Amino acid sequence: MSTPLRRVMVSRSAIQHNVERLRELAPAKDTMVVVKANGYGHGAELSARAALAGGATWIGVADIDEAMELRGKGITAPLLAWLHAADEDFNEAIGRDITLGISTVAQLQAVAEVGGGTVHLKIDTGLGRNGAGRENLAEFLDTAAALHTSGKLVVDGLMSHVSGTSREADLAQAEVFCRTRDLLASRGVTPTHLHIAASAAAIDHPSLRFTMVRFGIAAYGLEPTRAHRDLGLMPAMRFESSIVNVKRISAGDGVSYNFLWTAPKETTIALVSVGYADGVPRAATGNALVEIAGVRYPVVGRIAMDQIVVDVGDAEINTGDPVGIWGDPANGTPSVSDWADWTDTISYDIVTGIGNRVTRIDIP
Ligand SMILES: Cc1ncc(COP(=O)(O)O)c(C=O)c1O
């Protein structure tokens, strides 16, 4: 069988190690690992299993379909899903013991109608996105408390999400969170789980860990921001392709669409079978580097749908040689953060952009 043209290798042991490390760095009673968007491109089931092996006690996803898929694959750990359609039917999710992050009175009522559901109340403490907002907080808490007290649902958690704008802004959100917890307690409800911090806040602010921290990006070994280097995490993903053609070209020869690059002198170029349809950002044209045998070389000319061209100078290279697109910089491969810098985005955006035709290879 031939080698897949493009492949993503994901290391289970790296994710397990990262979760173990994060539990030391940011300990809390419970640790959630977030595997939404196919485990940030790493594979949801693999990521969930590796996270649980590393000591995670909860798995988080955005929506119920993602949670149902994990249940279907035999993940029995506590699962939380927090983003729902306007007319969401909670029946199946409750039947599969999926905990629901709930942001509106209408959702509370829909869960209560089914009966037997467990919810974490999601509060907008200042991020300005999902979660019950200030203007209807009293009604939201009143409704939740009444439904909890009458046994129509169980309020088992209170959650929010911070903006990461600054330490002051995050701590201000935590204050709103604590006040909301007290308002809920004054209505007779004291949830077991209190959580507000994702990777960055959990690492940076011990006071934001409450009873549970929610790690997404850091569990995959990627830094939440450039300020979070040297945490002892291991990138779990290596994105790789291969050289499929090699040519010697002359000074002045143009390469790829619109001749954005012409060879300044005689050189060797390598054609690599991966492109923007696979998740190599087209916007990195002119900035990107890739790794061949531990050495970084520039990607030259326009990044195309299926192909990139690499200028290797006078290096000895051959068709079939592997090409590291991103992975562990300790091996010379550009990091996901490098690609994020080259395209003015964040690492999350890079790893979740892997295309459908990329072959996934799980490695221990
Ligand atoms: C509610 C919630 N919690 C946790 C996370 C994980 O965030 P991070 O990947 O920054 O750790 C996310 C991701 O955006 C989220 O939406």
Mean pLDDT for each 10-residue chunk of the chain (364 residues)?
94 98 98 98 98 98 98 98 97 98 98 98 96 96 98 98 96 98 98 98 97 98 91 97 98 96 98 98 98 98 98 98 97 97 97 97 94
Segments forming the whole domain that contains residue 76: 11-220
Position 346 in a domain? yes
Query: Is the separation of the CB atoms in 327 and 222 below 8 Å?
Result: no
Do residues 54 and 129 share a domain?
yes
DSSP state of 239: E
Q: Domain holding 257: CATH number? A: 2.40.37.10
Burial class (CB in 10 A: 0-12, 13-18, 19+), 101: buried
Ligand 1 centre from 214 Cα, in Å?
7
- Catalytic residue, from 40, 122, 220, 257: name it: 257
Smallest CA-to-CA distance from 35 within 71, 7, 85 is with 71
Tell how far the Cα of 316 is from the centroid of ligand 1, in angstroms: 44
Do residue 20 and residue 52 come from a single domain?
yes
Domain co-membership, 213 together with 301: no
Q: Give me ligand 1 centre to Cα 272, in Å.
A: 34
Q: Domains in the chain: how many in total?
A: 2
Find out whether the beta carbon of 17 lies less than 6 Å from any atom of ligand 1: no
The answer as to whether 6 is a domain residue is no
Cα–chain center distance at 337:
13
C-alpha 289/C-alpha 292 separation (Å) is: 10
Question: Is 230 a member of any domain?
Answer: no
DSSP 291-352: EETTEEEEEES---SS-EEEEEET----TT-EEEEES-GGGTPPPHHHHHHHTTS-HHHHHT
Query: Does the beta carbon of 110 sit less than 6 angstroms from any atom of ligand 1?
Result: no
Would residue 225 count as lying in a domain?
Answer: no
**Is the CB of 216 inside a 6 Å radius of any atom of ligand 1?**
yes
The answer to whether residue 228 sits within a structural domain is: no
Q: Write down the residue that tokens 């990521």 correspond to.
A: 47
3-state secondary structure of 360: strand
Spatial CB neighbours of 166, under 8 Å, sequence gap ≥ 6: none
Q: Is 58 in the pocket of ligand 1 (CB under 6 A)?
A: no
Asked if 82 and 118 count as a contact pair (C-beta separation under 8 A), the reply is no
Give strand pairing partners of 98. Answer: 79
36 catalytic per annotation: yes
Task: Say if residue 136 is in the same domain as residue 243.
Answer: no
Residues 190 and 335 in one domain: no
Closest atom, ligand 1, to C-alpha of 200: 10
Q: What is the pLDDT of residue 167?
A: 96
- For residue 128, what pLDDT is reported? 94
Residue 168 tokens read as 């002051």
Q: Are residues 330 and 216 in the same domain?
A: no
Instruction: Please name the residue whose Cα sits nearest to atom 8 of ligand 1.
Output: 216
253 and 106 fall within a common domain: no
pLDDT of residue 229: 86
The one-letter amino acid at 257: Y
Same domain, 133 and 248: no
Whether ligand 1 lies within 6 angstroms of the CB of 224 is answered as yes
Residue 322 lies in a domain: yes
Q: What CA–CA distance (Å, rounded) separates 216 from 125?
A: 20
Neighbours of 60 (CB within 10 A): 28
